[in-house]
Amino acid sequence: MSENASPLQYSDVEQAARRIEGAAHRTPVLSSRTADGIAGANLFFKCENFQRMGAFKFRGAYNAIAKFTDAQRQAGVLTFSSGNHAQAIALSAKLAGIRAAIIMPNDAPALKVQATKGYGGEVIFYDRYTENREEIGQRLARERGMTLIPPYDHPDVIAGQGTAAKELFDEAGELDVLLVPLGGGGLLAGCALAASQLSPNCKIIGVEPEAGNDGQQSLRSGAIVDIGVPQTIADGAQTSHLGRHNFAVIQRLVDDIVTVSDAQLVETMKFLAERMKMIVEPTGCLAAAAALQGVYPAGGEPLAGKKVGILISGGNVDLGRFASLVAG
């Protein structure tokens, strides 16, 4: 696994942007007067639900694999993921012409398992409540010589995810606030690196599910807090702790972390479908929920008149599950 000796910086995001150019979509930045009216602000939605394989994770995975040596390409890539990173690795490996093995929880959404297999990835199941996926990953990496690219705790993954925010700043200009969904912290750390150069006065806010507020606890206490697997409909953010590389960047560059409830995520799914004609998965709604449900800023400076970036992180949800969530 490659480790940068020096701390991650904006130039890592810039290099990633060059590597993924032509492979990743430059996703649209959308606006909605109705949403602006609700938030009392000027909102810029960066729509990674329209990214290849349906989420921003393609950016980090493709960037990491693009840096492989010939020997690494020969043995292939290995990862563990609850879904979107699995598809991202499987698709990126397919594009690079290398093998991919994916360790997935046996309760992962069917759509995500199918999609991973569809991209040619070999799926290896485990029980996320009794087994440790990191241990399984390290054992398989040893046995097969494959390179492990974890879903968030890796410099090349972080740099790749940051290209989403780089594109947003390139298109919308500097922002006052950027709201970013938070699981293990790949997206948030990468976006914070992009902002540090392109919009240095922008407040960077992570948004987590209420049940999984380990990131908020970690930022406030100054050390990584592990809370066990949280129960939330935001399956892409069911991480129990931030990554090491992620926390280093988040501590340095992120202003605050707020939380939203599952009910607020469902309301936001409905809003994005009805008013913006978008299918967004529960985790993908985290940042939008913070702005539209009055979560951010809590008692702080109001958003009124501000330019606010909202990262819509993904759209991979079974239609049946989508329907039952928004109907309930």
Ligand X SMILES: *Cc1c(COP(=O)(O)O)cnc(C)c1O
Closest distance between ligand X and the C-beta of residue 37, in Å?
A: 26
Would you say 181 or 309 has its CB closer to ligand X? 181
Catalytic residue (choose from 153, 167, 214, 281): 214
Sole window of 11-19, 30-38, 234-242, 270-278 interacting with ligand X (rule: CB under 6 A): 234-242
Please identify which of the residues 76, 186, 212, 236 carries the catalytic annotation. 212
Q: Contacts with ligand X in 180-209 (CB under 6 A)? A: 181-188
Write down the least CB distance from residue 317 to ligand X, Å. 9
Residues 132-161 that bind ligand X (CB under 6 A): 151-152, 161
Residue 6: active-site member:
no
Using the Cα atoms of residue 183, residue 296, residue 55 and residue 274 in order, give the sign of their dihedral: positive
Among 236, 260, 292, 317, interactor with ligand X by CB under 6 A: 236
Residue 274 is among the residues annotated as catalytic for this protein:
no
| Residue 57 engages ligand X in binding (rule: CB under 6 A) | yes
Q: State the nearest-atom distance from the C-beta of 33 to ligand X, in Å.
A: 26
* Residue 136 C-beta: closest distance to ligand X, Å: 19
3-state secondary structure of 300: coil
The reply to whether 57 belongs to the active site is: yes
Span near ligand X by CB under 6 A; candidates 20-28, 255-263, 269-277, 281-289: 281-289
Residue count at the site for ligand X (CB under 6 A)? 22
Q: Interior CA angle at 113 toward 88 and 163, to 5°?
A: 15
Helices (H), the chain: 10-20, 33-39, 57-66, 70-75, 84-96, 110-118, 133-144, 155-172, 186-198, 214-221, 244-253, 262-276, 286-292, 319-327
Q: Specify the stretch interacting with ligand X by CB under 6 A; choose among 11-19, 164-172, 179-187, 265-273.
A: 179-187
For the question of residue 300 being annotated catalytic, the response is no
Residue 29 exposed, middle or buried by CB count within 10 Å (0-12, 13-18, 19+):
middle
- Cα separation, 226 vs 292, in Å, equals 29
- For residue 234, the minimal CB distance to ligand X (Å) is 8
284 lies in the site for ligand X, by CB under 6 A = yes
Residue nearest to ligand X (CB): 314
Residue 132 φ/ψ region, left for φ over 0, alpha for ψ in the -120 to 50 degree band, beta for the rest: beta
**Exposed e or buried b per residue across 86-117, where buried means at least 16 C-beta atoms within 10 angstroms of its C-beta:** bbbbbbbbebbebbbbbbbbeebbebbbebbe
DSSP codes of every residue in 221-277: HTS-----S---S-GGG--SS--HHHHHHHHHH--EEEEE-HHHHHHHHHHHHHHH-
- Return the active site residues: 57, 82, 208, 212, 214, 313
Q: In the complex, which residues of this chain contact ligand X (CB under 6 A)?
A: 55, 57, 84, 151-152, 161, 181-188, 236-237, 239, 281, 283-284, 313-314
